[in-house]
Amino acid sequence: MRCANCGREFDDALAECPHCAGGAVSADWSAAMKAEVDGREKPFSSHLLLAILAFVFGFMPVGLVSVVYAVLAKSRFEADDREGALRNAVHARNWIIASFVTLVLIWVLIALVLLIGRLFLGSEMDRFLGRFASGR
């Protein structure tokens, strides 16, 4: 069997993994993870292009993590480690989403700070922004 936590193989007679005491998953776990479209296996995607776009146009620190996971997924797929590749591809996809969500949240926070500043400071903020724009 294969452990759901650490991914290591162990004896079928054992109830849980001796390496990490995690739950057991059947040997055909990878077959259960394969998505099918119209009776055909869906082609593998490491999400590398989206990860690069998340790095460039999203929140960069989080986008970098997605690029790392996408590269790991691609290298594991090329090494015939399908389970590891799928696991890393899912992590890459999640970090891509987190990159764009974080960027949107940052922009919303900036907009709120500017709006609150405008409401409470009013003319003082206009004078400050005017001096800032003129370089004085």
Quick: pLDDT tens for 12-26: 666 677 767 665 544
Pair (124, 61) in one structural domain? yes
Is the backbone of residue 11 left (phi > 0), alpha (psi -120 to 50) or beta?
A: beta
Query: Are residues 49 and 88 located together in one domain of the fold?
Result: yes
- Whether the pLDDT of residue 32 is over 50: the answer is no
Beta-carbon contacts of 17 under 8 Å, excluding residues fewer than 6 positions away, are 3, 5, 6, 8, 10, 23, 24
Q: Answer yes or no: pTM beyond 0.75.
A: no
**pLDDT tens for residues 55-112?**
999 889 999 999 999 999 999 998 988 889 999 999 999 999 999 999 999 999 999 9
Note the pLDDT of residue 35.
47
Position 5 scores a pLDDT of 65
Domain extent, residue 115, equals 34-134
Burial bucket for residue 95 (CB in 10 Å: 0-12, 13-18, 19+): buried
Tally of domains within the chain: 2
Q: Do 52 and 28 share a structural domain? A: no
Question: What pLDDT, on the 0 to 100 scale, is given for residue 36?
Answer: 45
112 in the same domain as 97: yes
